[in-house]
Amino acid sequence: MTAPPRHVGRYSPSTVAAHPDGRLVSPSFERNAGPIRAALAPLLRGAPGGGAVLEIGSGTGQHAAHFAPAFPELLWVPTDPVPEHRASIAAWRTISGALNLAAPLDLDAAQDWAAHPEVTSLGPLAAVFAMNVIHIAPWAVADGIVAGAARSLASGGRLILYGPFAEGGRHTGEGNARFDAALRAENPEWGVRDLDEVAALARAAGLGAPVVTAMPANNRLVAFACA
């Protein structure tokens, strides 16, 4: 589903703890998985027609293995363009035993992913979820996530983004300002996104206004509904 240039993995046994079976350990899992699961619950319970949640940039897959059993009426479909990440996601899937956790897809969100047969075969999606992705990727990835979500969501489905956001051109805290500077130093195409700019993308794609949940550590969970 992806084409060169290939992506550089964020996680590998040299950067995070790893289990012998290939499971990589997410550095943020212990502190953010519970609050994010709780914030997702009202958005995903009663999602249109059951259906699938397509997760973009699943990373280690540790979160997907935690979220899928919490929403047994939905099929959780993890994805990532990095082979080592997909191997970790697959290993977390095996150990979780969650019947509603699909095998990871190779998906580059900057491409026309909504047209790929592995996505269209899922039917209209209950949700598209991307956690800590759009600020650690070029703007084309935010654009691709929004465009693909608008094409593939069921009526009443939601695009859900989690991470740090600036609001009205300002960072929501000193930590996010420092994080933004570090991201841009690492890659000038990265950076904490402004919620207004992401909302403008969503509006142009035909999605609804952002519904924002404040999360610990100045993060936000932002949901856009599909009409």
Ligand X SMILES: C[S@@+](CC[C@H](N)C(=O)[O-])C[C@H]1O[C@@H](n2cnc3c(N)ncnc32)[C@H](O)[C@@H]1O
- The residues of the shown chain that bind ligand X, judged by CB under 6 A, are 7, 10, 26, 28, 56-59, 63, 80-82, 85, 107-110, 131-133, 136-137, 141
User: Are 150 and 157 within 8 A, CB to CB?
Assistant: no
- Smallest separation, CB 213 to ligand X (Å): 16
Provide the residue type at 72 as one letter. P
Considering the complex, what minimum distance in angstroms separates the CB of residue 155 from ligand X? 25
Q: Which residue has the tokens 């150990």?
A: 95
For ligand X, the closer CB: 57 or 164: 57
Nearest CA-CA partner of 221 in 150, 162, 167, 156: 162
Q: DSSP 3-state assignment of 67?
A: helix
Output 49 or 132, the one with its CB closest to ligand X.
132
90 within 8 A of 103, measured Cβ to Cβ: yes
* Minimal distance, residue 7 CB to ligand X, in Å: 5
Rg (the chain; Cα; Å):
16
Instruction: Find the residue with minimal CB distance to ligand X.
Output: 59
Closer to ligand X by CB, 5 or 168: give it. Answer: 5
- Output the smallest distance, CB 111 to ligand X, in A: 8
Cβ–Cβ < 8 Å for 126, 226? no
Nearer to ligand X, 73 or 189 (CB): 189
